[in-house]
Structure 1
Amino acid sequence: MTATASSTALLPLHAALGTDISVLPRIFEDAINIAVMQRRLPADVALSAKAQYQIERPWQFSWLGAPDERLVAELKRRAPQPEAADALIDDIVSVAQAVAYLFDTQTVGIRLRVLTEAMCPRFHCDNLPVRLVTTYLGPDSEWLPEEAVNRDGLGAPHPDRPEIVLNPDAVQMLKAGDIALIKGSGWEGSEHSALVHRSPSLSPGQKRLLLTIDPA
């Protein structure tokens, strides 16, 4: 049975979990490679996200720049249902501004996507310092506690590679609405301890509204 990120009794020492934004700066701790702020989406944000989610085909929005009024205008212009997008846009911009503040940068890379299939279905580590991940609707990202990982299995699939997952029952899953900061192998000191994670599998007809933000 797949565990969830809310199972604090099972939470490994390299993970930080809380319901307040103050948990996110714990990503700077050497021992932590995932920091999760648990939250229930406000009703207006959930409804706004659902309106954009109704699109039948895959859709993507990308942005590299400051999380300012220009981002607001571009999100409004590109949203599948712009007349219902305000609450979602406000949430995205607030999260992006928090990332910019936390990592002391004026520039963030943002991707908002409606996905109809798993983007990265194999367990892996990101080749970048850190990434924020939040899913507004649909299944959320899965990750592995360190004791359940065989890092020799990471990389491109090969017949000689061992299985990555040592204990399938240990797989953790974020919940829709959660905001997670994930360390990649580009974070100094985490070259061999970056978080191992993957995209969730999607059933036929199932979709996912995913936001990722990279400080630049």
Structure 2
Amino acid sequence: MNEKNLNFAGEWSQAGGMCRHMTQDKQPTVLSDIYQEEINIAIWRREKPASLQYSVKEFLALNPTFQKEMILTPQDALSRVSESFDNNMTEVSEDIAELVDMFCYLFELKQAGMRLKVLDRAMCPKFHVDKVPCRLVTTYQGMATEWLPHELVDQTKLGWSCNGLPDSESGLYKSESDIQQLDCGDVALLKGTLWEGNENAGLVHRSPELIANEKRLILTLDFK
């Protein structure tokens, strides 16, 4: 097992003196680190099998505008996801079902809210925090989610407080080099503002800008 990589850069943030950090590893067990108070993003740096990559490309070719929202249980996820595809995308269905099972097991949930979308533009182009306890995010194809380390964010510049200025001019962060990005295939847990004790420390993130004619396939799982 690879040694975990925890980022403890900076003791204090500009948001009420709280410290929040990231943790990452090539093993899925790293996702349980999200329960640690000081962690607001846990990243499983996984490599997609070649068969899954092929299945995703085939899926995008056949479903260029696919969008689906479902409430799934670990018991019915595989059958219901498979039924929602007009064609037999076994690898994609099995991967989604496995992530639903992991998500529900980790948080002791009976069901999860799934969203699977094909995008050709940034869904949430401005940096923001999610008003949820925790969200699982993975990008199957295309550019993946961008995020900011907590200690480098001026949270007084989020949302309406930016006075209509773009993120790059609002003072939300100091340098473009502050922006971090997940890799395609990574599975990340993003702690939101509804997590108890994390009210002012939700992970600040946004959708990436896509180049012309690029397609992005993204999966999210939420508490239900």
- TM-score under structure 1 normalisation? 0.89
How far apart, CA to CA, are the structure 1 residues paired with 2:7 and 2:109?
34
How far apart, CA to CA, are the structure 1 residues paired with 2:175 and 2:154?
10
Task: Tell me the amino acid that sits aligned with residue 210 of structure 2.
Answer: L
Per the alignment, residue 177 of structure 1 pairs with: 185
1:69-80 mapped onto 2 (5 Å cutoff)? 69=76, 71-79=77-85
**Deviations, residues 48-68 of structure 1 (Å, cap 9, x unaligned):** 111111247432111113132
User: CA contact under 8 A between 2:78 and 2:96: conserved in structure 1?
Assistant: no
User: CA contact under 8 A between 2:124 and 2:207: conserved in structure 1?
Assistant: yes
Q: CA RMSD in A?
A: 2.0
Is 1:64 paired with 2:71?
yes
User: Unmatched 5+ residue regions in structure 2?
Assistant: 10-19
Task: Tell me the amino acid that sits aligned with residue 158 of structure 1.
Answer: N
Taking a change above 3 Å as real, the CA distance of residues 39 and 96 of structure 1, as seen in their structure-2 partners, is: same
User: CA contact under 8 A between 2:6 and 2:21: conserved in structure 1?
Assistant: no
1:156-175 mapped onto 2 (5 Å cutoff)? 156=160, 157-159=162-164, 162-175=170-183
Is 1:97 paired with 2:101?
yes
User: Unmatched 5+ residue regions in structure 1?
Assistant: 1-7
Identity value in percent: 35
SS class of match (2:196) = coil
User: CA contact under 8 A between 1:150 and 1:166: conserved in structure 2?
Assistant: no
Task: Tell me the amino acid that sits aligned with residue 203 of structure 1.
Answer: I
Task: Tell me the amino acid that sits aligned with residue 36 of structure 2.
Answer: E
**Deviations, residues 63-114 of structure 1 (Å, cap 9, x unaligned):** 1131323x3233223225x23x001110110011000000001110011111
- 2:41 counterpart (34, 37, 48): 34
How far apart, CA to CA, are the structure 2 residues paired with 1:201 and 1:11?
28
Per the alignment, residue 112 of structure 1 pairs with: 116
- TM-score under structure 2 normalisation? 0.86
SS class of match (1:63) = strand
1:3-152 mapped onto 2 (5 Å cutoff)? 12=9, 14-55=21-62, 57-69=64-76, 71-79=77-85, 82-83=87-88, 85-152=89-156
Task: Tell me the amino acid that sits aligned with residue 163 of structure 2.
Answer: H
SS class of match (1:133) = strand
